[in-house]
């Protein structure tokens, strides 16, 4: 019996890898223009980082982390997201000394033990950007613009940007109290989880997708009506900057996001094609995370986007993928005794920059010619016994079907 792949994970097969290269190239090229630098952090971290960073009462920390002890019993966790790790690295590597504003991006697999469904996996890939050090609303608007430029370059249509402000330490406390009082009166309508959330972290109730909870929230106090002056002004400026950039958005006063570190701006970008798991990107400002993880107070803003969800959306929208690059040379040799000559020639062709291959499974001449056709080789180089004795090979142009004998030493010139 073969061993199957774990639930919620997937292989990215060779026939699909070009899509990933393409999407990653577009992302890298655009982020380079914005002066973001790539960072690679470990796939696992000390569990404490995520508990402190993401928040103890979030679903991610409570229910979804892949946590395991190392051999000495220390608790490690497969990263469920990238922001906490990037901030940890920012602090550990004293990046604040290099520059006042540090702009970083990352790619990589993240792990959440969620119930798998369409567009929701237990191992999924994100790219994300983090702009650490600026409290300017320009930073908030810039990252939303960067995300949308990437989606636009990939041709994605029908996207919706939802925007909210979740306030700051100062104004949120009073709002949360108000919300808790409201929720207390609605207790009977709330789901089991939300009853607990009302007590532990009432903001999370706003996010609940259950119909009865959404119904109960109908006249709930809105956080944007309870912002302090600083947060209100910041939100106003972010909106004005987005208007200037002609970026459409809708205000969603229930958007609180699933991670506790957000302050002020919170946003999500959704695709009309994705059904329930429609968020292709999400992010916001997190002005307290750096100090909560042991640094000095440092404002920051960022977002992350699910790459699988981007690719699924592109497929649903029938967007074109770049053609796979054509294969240059297929070398045909049917004489087992000539394999060293064949391999030497093949390596010479490859080292000159061509994509080249040959059969190593003992196929007949006819079958090797069929393979050359199948891989859409531009040229077939045939090692015939008689020609080889004269130090020549036959080169066939597979498109024009022209065939000529060339000196083995001149093969590269012929292919150029």
Binding footprint of ligand HAM on the chain (CB under 6 A): 81-83, 112, 114, 120-121, 124, 126, 128, 130, 258-259, 279-284, 286, 302-306, 308-309
Min dist CB 74 to ligand HAM, Å, is: 24
CB atoms within 10 A of CB 191: 16
By C-beta, is 239 or 285 nearer to ligand HAM? 285
- CA dist list (Å): 290 to 83, 124, 175: 10, 25, 24
Burial of 263 (0-12, 13-18, 19+ CB in 10 A): buried
By C-beta, is 36 or 303 nearer to ligand HAM? 303
By C-beta, is 304 or 349 nearer to ligand HAM? 304
Q: Which of 397, 414, 30, 55 is nearest to 201 (CA)?
A: 55
Min dist CB 140 to ligand HAM, Å, is: 11
CB atoms within 10 A of CB 278: 17
Min dist CB 247 to ligand HAM, Å, is: 18
Min dist CB 273 to ligand HAM, Å, is: 13
**Integer Cα distance of 415 and 411 in angstroms:** 6
CA dihedral 161, 244, 239, 311 (to 10 degrees): 20
Min dist CB 136 to ligand HAM, Å, is: 16
320: CB partners within 8 A, 6+ apart: 155
Would you give the DSSP letter of residue 407? Answer: E
Min dist CB 83 to ligand HAM, Å, is: 4
By C-beta, is 131 or 334 nearer to ligand HAM? 131
Min dist CB 79 to ligand HAM, Å, is: 10
By C-beta, is 90 or 303 nearer to ligand HAM? 303
Q: Which long-range contacts (CB under 8 A, 24 or more apart) does 355-363 make?
A: 355/325, 355/327, 355/328, 355/329, 356/328, 356/329, 356/330, 356/331, 357/327, 357/329, 357/330, 357/331, 358/330, 358/331, 358/332, 358/333, 359/332, 359/333, 362/336
By C-beta, is 256 or 393 nearer to ligand HAM? 256
By C-beta, is 91 or 259 nearer to ligand HAM? 259
| Residue facing ligand HAM at closest CB distance | 306
CA dihedral 155, 156, 158, 159 (to 10 degrees): -130
């Amino acid at each position: 019996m073969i061993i199957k792949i774990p639930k919620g994970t997937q292989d990215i097969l060779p026939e699909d890898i070009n899509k990933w290269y393409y999407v990653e190239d577009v992302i890298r090229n655009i982020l380079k223009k914005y002066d973001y630098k790539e960072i690679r952090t470990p796939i696992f971290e000390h569990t404490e980082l995520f508990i402190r960073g993401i928040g103890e009462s979030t679903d991610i920390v409570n229910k979804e982390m892949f946590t395991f002890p190392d051999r000495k019993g220390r608790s490690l966790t497969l990263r469920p997201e990238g922001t906490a790790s990037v901030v940890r690295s920012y602090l550990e590597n004293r990046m604040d000394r290099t520059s006042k504003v540090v702009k970083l991006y990352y790619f990589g697999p993240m792990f959440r033990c969620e119930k798998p469904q369409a567009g929701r996996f237990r191992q999924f890939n994100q790219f994300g950007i983090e702009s650490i050090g600026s409290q300017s609303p320009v930073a908030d608007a810039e990252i939303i613009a960067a995300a949308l430029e990437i989606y636009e370059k990939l041709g994605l249509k029908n996207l919706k940007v939802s925007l909210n402000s979740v306030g700051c330490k100062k104004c949120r406390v009073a709002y949360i109290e108000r919300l808790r009082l409201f929720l207390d009166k609605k207790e009977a309508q709330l789901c089991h989880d939300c009853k607990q959330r009302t007590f532990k972290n009432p903001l999370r109730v706003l996010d609940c997708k259950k119909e009865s909870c959404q119904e109960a929230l109908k006249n709930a106090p809105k956080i944007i009506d309870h912002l302090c002056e600083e947060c209100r002004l910041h939100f106003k400026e972010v909106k004005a900057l987005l208007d200037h950039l002609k970026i459409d958005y809708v205000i969603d006063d229930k958007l609180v996001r699933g991670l506790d570190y957000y302050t002020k701006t919170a946003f999500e970008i959704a695709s009309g094609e994705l059904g329930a798991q429609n968020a292709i990107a999400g992010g916001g400002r997190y002005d307290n995370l750096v100090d909560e993880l042991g640094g000095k107070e440092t404002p920051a803003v960022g977002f992350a986007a699910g790459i699988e969800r981007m690719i699924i959306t592109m497929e649903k929208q029938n967007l074109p993928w770049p053609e796979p690059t054509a294969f240059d040379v297929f070398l045909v040799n049917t004489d087992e005794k000539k394999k060293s000559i064949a391999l030497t020639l093949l390596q010479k062709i490859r080292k000159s920059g061509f994509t080249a291959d040959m059969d190593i499974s003992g196929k007949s001449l006819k079958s090797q010619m069929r393979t050359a056709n199948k891989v859409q080789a531009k040229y077939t180089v045939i090692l015939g016994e008689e020609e080889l004795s004269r130090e020549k090979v036959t080169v066939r142009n597979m498109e024009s079907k022209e065939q000529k004998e060339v000196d083995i030493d001149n093969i590269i010139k012929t292919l150029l």
